[in-house]
Structure 1
């Protein structure tokens, strides 16, 4: 009887270790996607950037901070509290223009079961080395074959005062 219990406990520990290792592998892979996202913005690498998304029509929703809304609504009382930027085209359109751009990312939190994932992080958006905006960002991802793909992006935005 004790051998049966011991066998079950050992089996359960092995399964838990495999799941933990798989989750760790997935987190490493997802962090690589985040780095590809960041670097493709800097390099304006449209091919890599586009490859990170499940498709061209994912939700890309900005929620504007109360502080930013207060400033914007002085000029335009109907300034929206949130905008789905996917209505303006695929996310790769963000990489247009000649100015140097960078999204700095920190405080990354990844949750995954190896098939689905959510990522949350803080970011600041820089154009020509000047901070333009900052906030928090959240992604949903799915694993398709061996690749993680972003299925939605939501982020808060606070513009640096004086920037447009």
Structure 2
């Protein structure tokens, strides 16, 4: 009986510590989200690039059915799945001639302290006009120097 009570007491005491660590991780991940958005507005490709795992990773956009039909009508060779890299995006941000911004809505974060997932809806604006929107998900890892984006997948919705 004492052993059972000790286990229950230990679990009760550990739960608040785990919750505090999860809150700290979630706050740090929210900071990455904020830095990402700020770097786009500032057209700061270097800061944007620093948010990603430098080697490896994945970047993929997916056209929804309506956007894909429009793309195919303009170019029969258009693809539904469009792989890219964070490096190309950082370069686009750095050299954009017009103001750009990505707005995030309903940001959801899930983490166990080592890996994390961020999911949100977005609007991407160029010169104040929405050029695309959709849903986006990031996979993050906790590296030696903080949370880094390892993979990005987003839809392009019409």
- Normalization by structure 2: what TM-score? 0.92
Equivalent residue, structure 1, for 2:96: 97
2:44 & 2:87 partners in 1: Cα distance? 17
Check conservation: 2:49, 2:87, Cα contact below 8 A: no
**1:13-162 residue pairs with structure 2 within 5 A?**
13-55=12-54, 57-86=56-85, 89-95=87-93, 96-159=95-158
CA-CA distance at 1:129 after TM superposition = 0.5
Deviation of the 1:74 alpha carbon: 1.3
Residue 51 of structure 1, CA deviation: 0.8
How many equivalent pairs are there? 157
Question: TM-score under structure 1 normalisation?
Answer: 0.89
Structure 2 match to 1:162 = none
1:22/1:129 CA distance change after superposition, 3 Å = same
2-structure distance, mates of 1:112, 1:23? 7
Q: 1:24 to 1:55 in 2, by over 3 A?
A: same
Runs of 4+ with deviation above 6 angstroms: none
- Structure 1 segments unaligned to the other structure (5+ residues): 160-164
Summarize the Cα distance change of 1:36–1:55 in structure 2 as closer, same or farther, 3 Å threshold. same
Deviation at 1:9, TM superposition (A): 1.3
Query: Structure 2: which 5+ residue stretches go unaligned?
Result: none
